[in-house]
């Protein structure tokens, strides 16, 4: 896919009001992201939004307080991804710390029960004899599951962040910043952020009624759970608005200080990361995938137990197990990518007008199709949905009436969940069920309806996107001078985050002399670049290059879009450019 470099513009028409405390380079970077004042980049914990604005919070706290006071059983029903695992862990630990006598968790195995609080998983939960079910990172679409629970005499609190459908479950309380009538300013909370806020409000209420003193319980420090909040928030790729940046930054500070769950520390160590210098991207690219591997290939309880344990040795054992699962996941993903490339070659993408792609293979793994969709989306810069059989036996022939499960990823400017809603409205009966966000969504259809869905989805994408929208853009924060490509500036940028979804890490661009180039690994290009108007040189690396193009021995000058990074190797720290885009000049 051809990409082009575009330089960001200051998005706010307001005058920049930063104080001298904010470095001029950071002022420019922040202004490109619509921030103009010091308080907008403040990530101190007291700046966190109050839980009072969350609709349903009062009811949720009253129900939880009553169940805790009566020492009744609570079952947490989570989701099988990193957000769900951290949400589940936080709920179990925080409720137990606040005096709940009997708290257990249940995460549906994706291969047996699918997503959310289904009627089938309610039956399983009912065998644990709970008075209350609390969903975390799911539940807003579980109309039938909540009805089943109520029919069995079980109360239900839903905590979720996904977009609601037309019908809302008849739960006893719903806390979701995206539900109608909720005035909470941050609509971008992850599931773990929502349950964290519920726990904050619950602790305040219990404290007000002197619960902790009466029970002889030490009031828990909920900030100790911010490591989980940071991990789940970054791993779920929700937009990092100011409130989420506060939660993530405070969690990262605790992790760097060693004040984190042994499981998080062990997952970082098994990946060879120095806990003292981790950044937000390490949660998304190092810890998150290893945690997610359990839910993708086996059972997320492996990941949750890794986060729950207080034993350093058990944490190491779980981390090694999850690391092994992640390696298996990558092997499966690589095979599926090769098949997807063959499909795309057969489609002859250069000569067809598919704006939205739907892909399916009978032997694809339903736990990995989301990653596959993301990889293809990144490669072709268009919305992609990848499908796999819902059956457990991979490679088994499936009938036309059998279900296939799809996981989709989108690009900026195309709301995937709303698009599926539109397809379902225009083609009744085509989609069995769906849910998700603007950038990611899941659905199930019948195998016999795949081709019909492929065409309907492509038509919907074409209603919203133009050809220019499908051209990849690398957004740059401008050029750095040779005097700015150094360790102090790299540290300044690193500390200026946390960076992530909707608050992207700064990328710069410029012309460089190509001094050296060689392939390392299978297809990574290691470069030595001459800085502009200088005798200085700097190391750079471009991952997963086209080896038919690079190395290019005739190239003398290149235009590079890059992140200014710090390479840490055997205790030595040096500046390195992480190449996002490379083109000949």
**What would the pLDDT profile of 127-163 be if each residue is shown by its tens digit?**
999 999 999 999 999 999 999 999 999 999 999 999 8
Average pLDDT along the chain? 91
Structural domains of the chain, ranges and CATH numbers in brackets: 47-321 (3.90.1640.30), 348-470 (3.10.310.30), 476-584 (2.40.50.460)
The predicted structure's pLDDT at residue 150: 97
**Residue 566, beta-bridge partner list:** 575
Q: What is the residue whose two structure tokens read 């704006």?
A: 355
DSSP string, 15-41: PP---TTS-HHHHHHHHHTT--SGGGG
Cβ within 8 Å of residue 424, ≥6 positions away = 430, 431, 434
Q: Evaluate the omega torsion of the peptide bond into residue 427 and state whether it is cis, within 30 degrees of 0.
A: no
Confidence of residue 395 (pLDDT cuts 50, 70, 90): very low
Q: Which of 325, 137, 98, 115 is nearest to 229 (CA)?
A: 137
State the pairing for strand pair 384-389/357-360.
parallel
The predicted structure's pLDDT at residue 233: 97
Confidence of residue 353 (pLDDT cuts 50, 70, 90): confident
Q: Which of 342, 541, 358 is nearest to 454 (CA)?
A: 358
Confidence of residue 13 (pLDDT cuts 50, 70, 90): low
Confidence of residue 394 (pLDDT cuts 50, 70, 90): very low
The predicted structure's pLDDT at residue 345: 72
Q: Evaluate the omega torsion of the peptide bond into residue 498 and state whether it is cis, within 30 degrees of 0.
A: yes
Cβ within 8 Å of residue 330, ≥6 positions away = none
In this structure, the dihedral spanned by the alpha carbons of residues 247, 249, 254 and 257, taken in order and rounded to 10 degrees, is: 180
Per-residue tokens: 108 = 């549906």
Per-residue tokens: 218 = 């030490």
pTM for the whole thing? 0.88
Rounded to 5 degrees, φ, ψ at 159 are -120, 120
Mean pLDDT of 356-385: 89
**What would the pLDDT profile of 312-341 be if each residue is shown by its tens digit?**
999 999 999 999 988 888 888 888 888 877
């Amino acid at each position: 896919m051809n990409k082009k470099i575009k330089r960001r513009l200051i998005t706010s028409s307001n005058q920049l009001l930063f104080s001298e405390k904010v470095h001029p380079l950071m002022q420019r970077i922040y202004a490109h992201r619509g921030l103009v004042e010091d308080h907008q980049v403040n990530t101190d914990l007291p700046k966190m939004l109050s839980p009072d604005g969350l609709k349903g919070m009062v009811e949720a706290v009253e129900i939880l307080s009553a169940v805790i006071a009566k020492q009744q059983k609570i079952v947490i029903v989570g989701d099988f991804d990193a957000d769900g695992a951290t949400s589940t862990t936080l709920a179990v630990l925080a409720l137990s710390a606040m005096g709940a006598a009997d708290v257990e968790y249940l995460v549906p195995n994706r291969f047996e029960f699918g997503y959310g609080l289904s009627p089938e998983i309610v039956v399983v939960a009912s065998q644990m004899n709970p008075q209350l079910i609390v969903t975390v990172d799911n539940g807003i679409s579980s109309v039938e599951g909540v009805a089943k629970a109520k029919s069995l005499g079980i109360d239900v609190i839903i905590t979720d962040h996904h977009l609601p459908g037309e019908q809302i479950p008849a739960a006893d309380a719903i806390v979701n910043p995206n539900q109608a009538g909720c005035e909470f300013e941050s609509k971008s909370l992850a599931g773990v952020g929502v349950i964290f806020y519920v726990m904050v409000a619950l602790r305040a209420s219990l404290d007000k009624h002197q619960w902790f003193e009466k029970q002889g319980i030490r009031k828990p420090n909920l900030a100790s759970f911010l490591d989980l909040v940071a991990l789940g928030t970054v791993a779920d790729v929700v937009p990092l608005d100011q409130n989420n940046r506060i939660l993530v930054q405070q969690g990262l500070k605790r992790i760097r200080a060693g004040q984190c769950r042994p499981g998080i520390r062990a997952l970082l160590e098994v990946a060879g990361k120095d806990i003292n210098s981790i950044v937000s991207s390490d949660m998304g690219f190092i810890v998150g995938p290893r945690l997610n591997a359990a839910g993708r290939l086996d059972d997320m309880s492996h990941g949750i137990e890794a986060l729950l344990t207080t034993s350093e040795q058990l944490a190491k054992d779980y981390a090694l197990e999850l690391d092994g699962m992640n390696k298996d996941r990558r092997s499966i993903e690589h095979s599926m990518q090769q098949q997807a490339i063959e499909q795309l070659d057969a489609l002859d993408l250069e000569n067809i007008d598919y704006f939205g792609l739907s892909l399916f293979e009978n032997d694809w793994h339903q736990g990995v199709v989301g990653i596959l969709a993301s990889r293809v989306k990144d490669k072709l810069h268009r919305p992609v949905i990848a499908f796999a059989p819902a059956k457990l036996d991979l490679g088994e022939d499936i009938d036309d009436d059998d279900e296939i499960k799809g996981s989709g990823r989108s690009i900026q400017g195309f709301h995937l969940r709303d698009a599926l809603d539109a397809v379902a409205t225009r083609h009744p009966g085509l989609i069995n069920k769906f849910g998700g966000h603007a950038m990611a969504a899941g659905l199930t259809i019948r195998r016999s309806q795949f081709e019909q869905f492929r065409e309907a989805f492509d038509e919907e994408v074409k209603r919203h996107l133009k050809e220019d929208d499908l051209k990849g853009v690398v957004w740059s924060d401008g050029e750095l001078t040779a005097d700015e490509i150094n360790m102090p500036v790299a540290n300044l940028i690193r500390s200026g985050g946390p960076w992530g979804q909707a608050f992207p890490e700064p990328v710069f661009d410029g012309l460089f002399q190509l001094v050296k180039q060689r392939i390392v690994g299978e297809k990574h290009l290691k470069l030595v670049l001459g800085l502009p108007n200088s005798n200085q040189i700097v190391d750079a690396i471009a991952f997963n290059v086209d080896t038919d193009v690079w190395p290019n021995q005739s190239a003398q000058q290149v235009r590079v879009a890059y992140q200014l990074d710090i390479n840490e190797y055997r205790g030595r720290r040096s500046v390195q450019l992480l190449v996002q885009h490379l083109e000949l000049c």
